[in-house]
Amino acid sequence: MADQSKPFFSVESARKPSSRKPNSLTPESKFWRSFKNSEPTSNLILPVTSLDFSPNHPFDLAAACSTAVHLFDGSSLSPKSHSPLSSFTDVAYSPSFRCDGALLAAGGESGLVQVFNPLSSGQALRRLRAHSRPVRVVRFPRVADKLHLFSAGDDALLSYWDVSTESTLLSFPAAHRDYIRACSPSPITADVIATGSYDHSVKVWDVRMSPDSNQVCTFTHGNPVESVLFLPSGGLIATAGGNSVKIWDVIGGGRLLHTMESHNKTVTSICLGRVGNEGAGSCGESRILSVSIDGYLKVFDFAAFKITHTVRYPAQLLSVGFSPSGLSRVVGTSNGVIYVGKKKVKEVALEKVGGEIDRSLPEPEKRVLRPTHYRYFYRGQSEKPSESDHVVKKPKKVKLAEHDMLLKKFRHRDALVSALNTKRPNSIVAVLEELVARRKLLKSIENLDMNELGLLFRFLHRNATKPRYARFLMGLAKRVLEMRAKDVQSSEDLSFHVQNLKCMVKEELRIQRLLQEIQGMLSPLLVIAGR
Amino acid sequence: MITGGQSLVSSAPAFSNDGKKLLVCTGNIVSIFSTSTGMLITELEGHTDRVTSVIVVPVSGPVSKIMSYCWTSSLDGTICYWDFSAAELIKTIKAQHPIISMVIPSIACHPAESIEKESKLYAFVSIEDTSKLDDKQKALRGQVQLYSLTDSRRVGGLLCETRKSHLIHASKSGEFIGIVNKRKLYIWQIPGKRFRSDEVKKIRLHPTKNLSTLAFHPTERVVAGGDITGRILIWRGFGKKKFLEKLPVRDEEERPGVRGDDDADSCTTWHWHAKEVKFLFFSSDGAYLYSGGKEGVIVVWQLDTGKKKFKPRLGSPLIYFIDSPDPNLSCLSCADNQIHLVKMPTMEIIKSISGIKLPFSFPDSFECSNNEFAFHNDAGLIALLTEDYCVQFFSLFENREISQVQVCERNFQPVDDVTVFVALAALSPDGSMMSTVDVKLPEEGLGGFVTLKFWSGSHIGEYTLSTVIYEPHSDAQISAIAFRPGGPGHSMAVSSSLGGDFKVWVNSSNMPQEGQMHQKLGWKCQSVGSYKNMPMTAATFSADGSVLAVAAENLFTLWDPDKNVLIAVIGNTVAPICNLSFIAQSEYLVSISRYSKPQLAVWNLSKLSMQWSYQISTEAISTTKDGSQFAILVIDNTHGKARKRDRDGIILLFEVENPIPLATWRVKKAKGGGLAFLAPDLLLRDTKYPGEGSHSLLAYINGDHEYVIFDPRGTAEVQIARNARTSQVPDKESEYIGYTSIYGELPEFDMKQGDSISEIPFMPSERPWETIFTGSSHNLPPLTKLCSTFLESLLERRTTTKG
């Protein structure tokens, strides 16, 4: 049975506010904090416009930057040996992995769409020519369709390709009235795709319908659309444009469900993330990760329509990616830095293999301990209690600070000196206040010797104007000077401290005057506003 | 009618013979608590005044569980004999005078069964002779008398007469009894067998200071006395001259420390306590002496060497220390109405029986703040401010403590002048929030500090700190805090200060703002108001929360709490207003002024004028939650000092529109008391008031924190058997003895595991004695199995031939 009497309170505990910290950290923000940030070693300087993870193990990463597509290994996120793919004549855009991860397509400023083998270096396997202007978005269908490819560009043309023959199966000329800058294939069917354009509209297309007939569905975002994302159900679409991310119900005919307006600048990219520690293949809850020019990454729970976590980066963010393994999160910036957040993998599987190997090894023979060996005298001391043992616990010793010990023994002056020596304002003020409560402060100040008085003056000089302590410490400084005036006059050291105090008081007076001036300016305004 | 809140520490408790029960004197009754659960088991009711001592008849051996008898004495002048397992009164002996203390020295040598036999049982009682007026300074009111319990009558003469009556202390063996009387210590020797009242011999010892307590060594001729300066004096070998009739030949030098011709071998002095020693207690083997006093520290003295050990931070002055027949259990009574059960060698507190906390004195400048109690009307709870910086939540219906919340984290030391204290506490109407104010007084103008704290919790009594606000009104004192009624969505509170402003606080966690990045939970100031810089002395919200009333000295101001707009200023009372309260379902407000010109005024808010007023000194007020009635507690100082002892207060029940009270009750000790309308306990109503509608009960708590709950509308006294409400008797707990009592229970060892080992198959061959023992020894079947086979193998089988 535990002792039910009150614990010992150290003097500092009286000042501490509540234990609010554990409350502020939700399990979700804990999860997002567990990604350890590091930068990949590649030395890019130009904006990273797009990031895409391979859907297959080991979930390689492709990043479009300048005139090349950089490839990174999925587990270590280090550049691959054949990276970058640089058979582009101009800026490369929008790398996209096929659903099995065996092919990579990318657009470019020249209007050429190229298809590569991401596992080896070399020239493009296929070159798709149809666009006359830069191709900003290239997407393979998400569902098991290995043959086709979508591409769209600044010429407002949406093309549907048969990759193997390099031919256009369908094309939607003038699909939008402005640049197409976003598109997202449906996660449930290979035939449906949503595109977003700078003409503020988002359109959903179905390749099974003839190009003459209209799109399946259209709705207006209200700002140039920077990014479009089909949510996993296939019934919802998230669009990013301007400062807002909007969620639409496609099946319900393009009804606006929610608007998230927590970014302060243009939202540049959104992608799907997942919460849950179980690793790949598990079904954690999905989240929308959005990045913006304002440097914030926000995690948005689209089930509860709530921001659950925010990360700040020191640059403008252009692109974001979340590994399907759930272990890494990458953010591309306008200055070429890719911020990589990696989760620590619990290497359970590896350990298991190791354990099996160990078991086959012959165990080293245990030597019988003899009194000649020093261990003989330590035998049994590191023994752990087994489950059935009844453990008689030693009462825990309370660790006390030195000034607490001295206060316990009513050695008030020594406690004050000990606290002053720690140079921690919190402890010093706590001890001073405890002495006030015991009516012993003035007595202990009277008993301080010269050096200790110097310590006290130094403390007062540094802290007396801090607003939290000011009322108490200012009064104290005045009282100390009154009480120990003779000592101060006789000692050179102390008069130096007093000079310092004087300077501090002058400075404080100046600040106060300034503040009063500001208050004088503000108060008429407030009075007017109040009317 | 429910009464409660009695003091648990008015006199020393006693353990039952098996150490499982603790008999505690609580007012007119003796309450019996279980030591394992700390819950009330039963009560002995029969005395008509305070019970002053309880003595359990010791029984040894196996019958100790069944035999449970005790003697009690009371201020009503009776001595009673009880069977406390059945809560039955067996015998009553009348003494003429109030009994202050009683000891039965020879009880240990008298087995309980033999009471009726030839050896007689005598009790020494200390009485207060009420026939002598206490006006006379020299009157000897205290007497020590002798009663024969067997014959139920007084025998012999007076043993001694003193000015005041004193507690009698007896040694464990029953050989000596003693009292302290100022600077004298009287010891009587009681002849054990063949007791005759005229054979009692007395010696006197003379310490230098006024003694406060004493204790006898259990086996040797050693007596310890504690004096008011904190010294402990130990006389060894006392009474050799008188009691043993040995003439000492040694001269003065060989009796160190003994004064004059005191009858003792030596006297040693120990000094650790800074204040009066309250108790002294020898351990049962006589090796240690326990002492305690106002410091709240038990000091364990090793008797031979004088070495000390301490058990500090008990949080309140100590009064009594009693050991139990169980060697590792003792009990400690504290002045804050708590009894701690202490595990003995380690001095850990394993259980606490807490009564209602007693009042403590605020510093003078804070007398105006009258919110010493905060009631939660629906749950029947009272929140009391305690001296050790806690708020205690006490259930009025169940008469037990619910919980304690430590407001100010500081080690409490009982001191004379209070420098740190919790000044105010307020509960929100739904009980989910609490707000407290703790004050640190300055030392010569330095370092004064006021802290406002907001607490939140899932249910009443379990709070966690949510917000701390340092110096909410700069250095001014806070005169009142109040929560706004209404749902949790509208959590708002107001604090008014004598510095001339009031602040409205809101809980920001209830107002989630879209797009706010770091939502800071907690309370913050929404608005500040003041009226002509006058000190704000009281504040309250109306029942629907739409109006805030703040008193500014003689006036009071009405505000819209949301917009912070002054609506109206009313009133001109004769003295500063101390308390404001709205009458729930009406347009009236009651204001109370105190001190030089006390006034009770009822204001009509629709007409903004005074309805009626009285010039009476009101101590407390409570309004019904629905309806238009209110009750006030009035200090009645018209009768002067003569009536001070008894009923000095009146409770008046008013209908708000009518200045003639509906009902009045006279009460005792009204100073510092409180009043509250409580919602009737659900459990109570179902059983006791079938069919009646809900009407609230009125609770009155007096200055000593004893309380009574009654129905203000009921004409007949509603008598509720208190025993029906006592908590369930704890189940017979398993008994720990020997090894288990020290190390706890051993895990269950499964004896059957041995059987589950599969039998090792073996093939009996033709010559089994050759093969039966082959094989490694750990593979052999048990010998019991082998034996029969082996013996069988030795026998030659004879085929019976029938021919």
Q: What is the DSSP string of A116-185?
A: E-TTS-SS-SEEEE--SS-EEEEE--SSS--SEEEEEETT--EEEEETTTTEEEEEETTSSSS-EEEEEE
Put simply, the chain B residues between 433 and 472 with a CB less than 8 A from any chain A CB are 440, 442-449, 464-468, 470-471
**Beta strands B629-635; B618-623: pairing state:** antiparallel
pLDDT at B477: 85
CA distance B347 to chain A (A): 9
pLDDT at A216: 79
Calpha distance B603→B570 (Å, rounded): 9
pLDDT tens for A213-264 read 667 788 898 889 999 999 888 888 999 998 899 999 888 888 888 898 888 8
pLDDT along chain B (803 residues), means of 10: 84 88 89 87 88 86 76 89 86 86 76 52 82 66 82 77 84 85 85 66 86 89 90 87 65 69 84 90 90 90 90 86 88 90 86 86 61 78 86 86 86 80 86 87 84 84 85 86 77 88 81 47 85 88 87 88 87 82 83 82 86 85 83 74 62 86 83 82 50 68 85 56 38 52 58 47 54 68 76 71 51
| A27 CB within 8 Å of a chain B CB | no
pLDDT at B738: 59
Tell me, what's the ipTM? 0.78
For tokens 């969620």, name the residue: A247
Q: How far is CA A124 from CA A69, A105, A130, A377, B415, in A?
A: 12, 9, 16, 73, 89
B-chain residue closest to A480, CA distance: B446
Q: Do A13 and B744 touch (CB under 8 A)?
A: no
List the single range of A315-319, A467-471, B98-102, B748-752 with lowest mean pLDDT: B748-752
Q: Which residues of A touch B523 (CB under 8 A)?
A: none
More confidently predicted of A154 and A369? A154
Q: Do B315 and A442 touch (CB under 8 A)?
A: no
Taking 90 as the threshold, does the pLDDT of residue A514 lie above it? yes
Taking 90 as the threshold, does the pLDDT of residue A512 lie above it? yes
Calpha distance A332→A319 (Å, rounded): 5
Q: Do B409 and A14 touch (CB under 8 A)?
A: yes
Taking 70 as the threshold, does the pLDDT of residue A350 lie above it? no
Put simply, the chain A residues between 434 and 473 with a CB less than 8 A from any chain B CB are 434-439, 441-442, 468, 471-472
Nearest to B409 among A13, A20, A436 (CB): A13
3-class DSSP assignment, residue B79? strand
pLDDT at A303: 84
CA distance B299 to chain A (A): 15
Q: How many CB pairs under 8 A join A and B?
A: 103
pLDDT at A417: 93
| B314 CB within 8 Å of a chain A CB | yes
pLDDT tens for A125-152 read 888 888 888 998 999 988 878 889 999 9
What lies within 8 Å, CB to CB, of B707 at 6+ separation is B3, B4, B5, B356, B382, B396, B699, B700, B701
pLDDT tens for A79-129 read 887 777 878 888 889 899 988 888 889 998 888 899 988 888 778 888 888
pLDDT at A346: 58
- pTM for the whole thing? 0.67
DSSP structure string for B584-650: TTSSEEEEEE-TTS-EEEEEETTTTEEEEEE---EEEEEE-SSSSEEEEEEE--SSGGGGSSS--EE
Q: Which residues of A touch B444 (CB under 8 A)?
A: 442, 479
What lies within 8 Å, CB to CB, of B218 at 6+ separation is B171, B172, B173, B282, B284, B285, B286
Counts of helices then strands in chain B (DSSP H, E):
6, 57
CA distance A237 to chain B (A): 22
pLDDT at A420: 92
Nearest to B410 among A9, A17, A23 (CB): A9
| B738 CB within 8 Å of a chain A CB | no
Biggest CA pair distance of chain B: 137
